[in-house]
Every structure is written in C-alpha cells, then in structure tokens.
Amino acid sequence: MSIWKREMTLEALNQTSKGTMVEHLGIVYTRMDGESLEAEMPVDARTQQPFGLLHGGASVVLAETLGSMAGFLTTTEGQCVVGTEINASHHRAVASGKVRGVCKPLHLGKSSQVWEIAIFDARDKRCCTSRLTTAVLG
C-alpha cells in the first residue's frame, strides 16, 4: 500500500527542481517506495560552511525539500502544502562526499502533516534529524 496520491517518476520529480535552489545545491531525488522519499545532496563548496563542514542550513534545505515534495505527493488535484515549522538536530559533522535524506510521515492529516527526515553520511551514519510540519491547503 502506498501513501502517494499523485504518480510521478523520479525523473519527473527531478525536473521540478530545474532553475531552483534545489538544483543549485545539487539535490537529486533517488528513491521512492510506498511510504518514503529519498534524495542525495553533495557536500561541496555550495553546501559547506566556512570551516569546510556541511552547513546546517543546507541540511535543513534538504529536509524541507524532501518533506514538501512528499507532502505534495500525498495531496490531490487542487491541493498544495506549505511548510509551517521545521527543526533540525545535527548529530555529527560531514566534510565531503554526499548526504542522503530519507523522508517518512509521522502524521498525515486532512489539514496538516508531520514528516521526519533523517540525513545520513556516506558511511550510513545519521548526521541530522529534522521534522517538518506542513499545512494542507485547498
């Protein structure tokens, strides 16, 4: 059983990023199953802070990107979602490579949603846990 109400391929999802901050940061959707959505983001000059580590704000961009798209995919024609709150706990530093975000629902209501986005480094160690709350409009 799937939580998704809209059908989009990974290729179509990645096309939505053209010309946006998502594309600029190199975020690419990589996997979707019945209840989760994943994306990768490089750790490079676009996403590092001045000390050479992954910028916490870049992790939040990855989290909000995943949660917002997942929220959109669980709505029907005429509906949309907007983020209302996001938080992030940073567990370990990442200096290079890629990070992978895994987005899963905690709550899927008629007017609000809550998503957990776990971000892992290249060794599959959790480096950040984020929670995004969205409002469902329409």
Residues recognised as catalytic: 64
- Buried b / exposed e along 10-22 (16+ C-beta atoms within 10 A): eeebbeebeeeeb
Q: What is the DSSP string of the chain?
A: ----SS---HHHHHHTTTTSHHHHTT-EEEEE-SS-EEEEEE-STTTB-TTSSB-HHHHHHHHHHHHHHHHHHTS-TT-EEEEEEEEEEE-S---SSEEEEEEEEEEE-SSEEEEEEEEE-TTS-EEEEEEEEEEEE-
